[in-house]
Amino acid sequence: MKLTVIAAAIAVPCNLVFGLAASWAIAKFEFVGKNVLITLIDLPFSVSPVIAGLIYVLLFGAQGLLGPWLSQHNIQIVFAVPGIVLATIFVTFPFVARELIPLMQEQGTEDEEAARSLGANGWQTFFRVTLPNIRWALLYGVLLCNARAMGEFGAVSVVSGHIRGLTNTMPLHVEILYNEYNFVAAFAVASVLAFLALVTLIIKSILEWRHGGEISAARA
Amino acid sequence: MAVIDIHAVSKQFGSFTALRQVNMAIKEGELVALLGPSGSGKTTLLRIIAGLEFADQGHVSFEGVDAATNPMVKRRVGFVFQHYALFKHMSVFENVAFGLRVMPSGQRPTNTDIKRRVEELLELVHLGNLAGRFPTQLSGGQRQRVALARALAIEPRVLLLDEPFGALDARVRKDLRRWLRRLHDEMGLTSVFVTHDQEEALELADRVVVMNNGEIIQSGTPTEVYDTPATPFVYEFLGNVNRIPCQLEGDHASFWGQSILLEDLPVGGQKRTGLAYVRPHDIEVVDGRATMGQPAIVRHVSMLGSIVRVDLAVEGAERPIEMELSRTKFQQLDLRTNSAVHLRACQARAFPA
């Protein structure tokens, strides 16, 4: 349980910042490599999470590319918390950016230009104009991102190593309990997860209902 | 003295040349219209003056200071966007106050000063009672005025407007035009606005700059550009015009049995063909019994409020000739469909074809 929250608590803000930065760059500026960036953002959608997990093992595992260097410096990533966080960040990568890019593209740059012509600097423009324009879509993206972060199974399963009490997130725990024929416990944990999902759904519906217009650009 | 000096400015977007070698000076207190069809580079020029876009070549200077060394804030330029670009999440009051609130803490007025200043501006644009509304609750004309008040809040020396009346209906547009002209004069601003509407440019501006394909074709007072267009393009862009084939010889153009002196467009000695440009209101009907002038037949009559437009068929011309005359004159002449008349042009300019 604790690990699930930790993983989400690190992965969601990371992807919030990354998603914001990426969509800001993609929607408001022209630069070389823009299409490559968009493709990269979509990668986690097209690659199976299990493969993502395996790549992490390949990179950071004991026999992996960076393995020797990591063990020299006494850093453990795979089969430890950092691995789980990294895997979670990877699979939740697209949620915020995918939600924001269409909206920001639709809004264009006129508001920002207006702010600039009135003397606002970059930060003032961002916090007073850009952010308020996208706040509800951003919240929506974060919510989806969070839901996925808590529920992720595949990638996390590969990198975690299933060490009970140490590297076990809730979805993994459900699997272990189930395989041990401990149905009562398995369903109890599953219910907690389901409850979290339900809360997310309710918040999501409220957002859609109250601020549908501002989010819908991403839907259309 | 020139407030803004634009020197040999060029701008390229990919393979599209938006501006080529544009030179222009804008004097203190002037109200200048940049007039041209879409894609003529007029908006790009405006955005370069504002500092929203940068010239590939050439430079823009404000009162002798090169703008490149002068960021947008210091230029003290107010910009009104075509679609107003009001901040949707802010009230009218906050929109207007924005430019004051983002000032560096040293220069920023106190809250009471901001409040007083914004209220003054809202009074100026006649929106004092709508301070608490949000942009989505306003009509197009009201939004336009909020955008203006917002731009004026930073006390600009120069006011730039991108198609300021483009999205408004005809009636509101007319009122706002007159109001803007008054505002410009009262506040002693220097203003530049972009438009593709020749009527707007002619009515509002002190000087009209006609652009096409990234170049300035002609610049002059509304009377100058309307009465003595430099090229056929300017002729056609500034209102309706009839094109009549003519013979050019020496400094004369002859058509319809009349001969017109070409003032500033002498064309060598040899005879050649050209086109004479005649405005619809410069065509008149010669006395019915006379045999002078060009015979023509009335095809269609349309009543356009105070004036009457008559379409006439002239033998050998593929397009009908358009003539405009006052209602009184029309009644005197007693023109009907299919009646035969003789025409002459009282003013024309000709260009080699």
User: B-chain residues within 8 Å CB-CB of A113?
Assistant: 52, 79, 81, 85
CA distances to B88, B241, B247, B253, B259 from B283, in Å: 52, 10, 19, 16, 15
Q: How many CB atoms lie within 10 A of CB B169?
A: 11
Q: Are A132 and B73 within 8 A, CB to CB? A: no
- Would you say residue B147 has pLDDT above 70? yes
Q: Are A118 and B98 within 8 A, CB to CB? A: yes
- Would you say residue B57 has pLDDT above 90? no
What is the CB-side half-sphere exposure of residue B61 using CA atoms within 13 A?
A: 10
The minimum CA-CA distance between B196 and chain A, rounded to whole Å, is 20
Q: What pLDDT is attached to residue B71?
A: 66
Q: What pLDDT is attached to residue B191?
A: 92
Indicate which of B98, B114, B148, B152 best probes the interface with A, i.e. most A CBs within 10 Å of its own CB: B98
Which of A117, A120, A133 faces B52 most closely, judged by CB atoms? A117
- How sure is the predictor about B267, in pLDDT bands with cuts at 50, 70 and 90? low
Identify whether the C-beta of residue B237 lies closer than 8 Å to the C-beta of residue B36. yes
- The number of C-beta contacts closer than 8 angstroms across A and B is 53
Residue pLDDT, tens place only, B318-340: 788 888 888 888 888 888 888 88
Residue pLDDT, tens place only, B284-307: 888 766 667 788 888 888 888 888
Q: Are B52 and A118 within 8 A, CB to CB? A: no
Q: What pLDDT is attached to residue B290?
A: 61
Describe the strand order of the beta sheet including B272-278 as a list of residue ranges. B258-261, B252-255, B242-249, B272-278, B349-352
> Does the ipTM surpass 0.90?
no
Alpha helices per DSSP H over B207-347: 222-227, 232-237, 327-333
Which of B83, B89, B154 faces A119 most closely, judged by CB atoms? B154
Residue pLDDT, tens place only, A46-77: 888 888 888 888 888 777 777 788 888 887 77
Q: A120 to chain B: nearest residue by CA?
A: B102
Q: What pLDDT is attached to residue A41?
A: 87
- Would you say residue B316 has pLDDT above 80? no
Q: B156 to chain A: nearest residue by CA?
A: A118
User: B-chain residues within 8 Å CB-CB of A121?
Assistant: 102
Identify whether the C-beta of residue B176 lies closer than 8 Å to the C-beta of residue B195. no
Q: What pLDDT is attached to residue A218?
A: 45
- pTM for the structure as a whole: 0.79
Q: A111 to chain B: nearest residue by CA?
A: B85
What's the CA gap between A129 and A122, in Å, rounded? Answer: 10
Percent of chain B with pLDDT over 90: 16
Q: Are B72 and A124 within 8 A, CB to CB? A: no
Q: A113 to chain B: nearest residue by CA?
A: B52
Q: Are A113 and B81 within 8 A, CB to CB? A: yes
- Would you say residue B237 has pLDDT above 80? yes
Q: What is the mean pLDDT of residues B183-200?
A: 89
One pLDDT digit (tens) per residue for chain A, 220 residues: 677 888 888 888 988 999 899 998 888 888 888 889 888 888 888 888 888 888 888 888 777 777 788 888 887 777 888 888 888 888 888 888 888 888 888 888 888 889 988 888 888 888 998 888 888 888 888 888 888 888 888 788 777 776 766 677 788 888 888 888 888 888 888 898 888 888 888 888 888 787 766 655 444 3
Phi, psi of B138 (to 5 degrees): -110, 155
Q: What is the mean pLDDT of residues B112-139?
A: 89
- Would you say residue B1 has pLDDT above 70? no
More confident residue, B346 or B93: B93
The least confident of A9-13, B29-33, B211-215, B262-266 is B262-266
User: B-chain residues within 8 Å CB-CB of A131?
Assistant: none
Identify whether the C-beta of residue A85 lies closer than 8 Å to the C-beta of residue A9. no
Cα angle: B117, vertex B123, B128; to 5 degrees: 100
